[in-house]
Structure 1
Amino acid sequence: MWGVVAVDYCARLYLASDRRYWFTHHLPELAMVALPMLRPLRLVRLLALVGVLQRSAGTALRGRITAYTAGSVSLLALVASLAVLDAERGAPGASITDFPDALWWSLVTITTVGHGNLELLA
């Protein structure tokens, strides 16, 4: 395993465009090759990479969650509007007789504590 780490270090040093710059900025890796007890320090680099990936994935995930939530709430409002319109239309003394009134009722009911009163509009 030590040989693989040493070959990896030498290959990256050889492939670097500015070897002097690469060498001075990768001294901890040289120490890992020279001192086998420091090899677990390579995991620190992996932890930094995981942190970067989590930040970018977290941003994408938050965007998806926001989109799914907005879509779900919109669908819930439309379904609730259709349900209350179906229940109220044709009933004697009903205050919700068309779709805009039903949509207003569902939006007010969702965004408040459930007091979607249409009598307040009159």
Structure 2
Amino acid sequence: MSARTPDRPPPALTRWEQRTEVPLLAASLVFLAGYAFRVLAPYDAGPWHDLSLALVGATWLLFVLDYALRLRLSGLGLRFVRVRWLDTLVLVLPLLRPLRMVQVYTAVQEKRDRPRLGLYARVISYAGMTAVLLGFSAALSVYHWEHGAPDASIRTFGDAVWWACATLTTVGYGDAVPVTAMGRIIAAGLMACGLALLGAVTGAFSSWLIQVFRREDEKEPPASG
């Protein structure tokens, strides 16, 4: 039996990832809903604030347990934190979980040796989904820190959504900008992730077009002399 290559995860870890990605994606949406309620709900919402806090805590605990099991199944020990840095990032920012689905489907696609056109479509769709979730969560976070700050230009959640759209698309009108330290940290992270997502979508779409044109050329009969 051939030894497992260092860059290929153990079969047990691969099976676990394939079985849990969709349920954990649903859990990340529950996490987002709980966080959104805590930020946007009126202060007199009473027990609903406690319920949303319980949802956020329970889903994050689920992500911690999943991370611990991945670490154990990987056989890497503490090197897992560095080698599988995306898993660590997802633990800190659960709304980036769609990026993990790209990893899993890439591994499945390569293992089954199927045409890769579907993979490019998945990369584009998951990156787009991640951009929407990331922009919404950034808008919530910036609104939470900014709306009560002195001289803030982001006073409503609508202002925060407009700011997130302008930042993700690298337009940067400058009419709504964060003024607090935490708001600027969130803005810097959104800029970096936005550029990465834009690069992923652009690269995947370009590769998809090249594959389509190549297949069309292969289908054409050779020209007669």
- TM-score (normalizing by structure 2): 0.27
Larger radius of gyration: 1
TM-score, normalised with respect to structure 1: 0.47
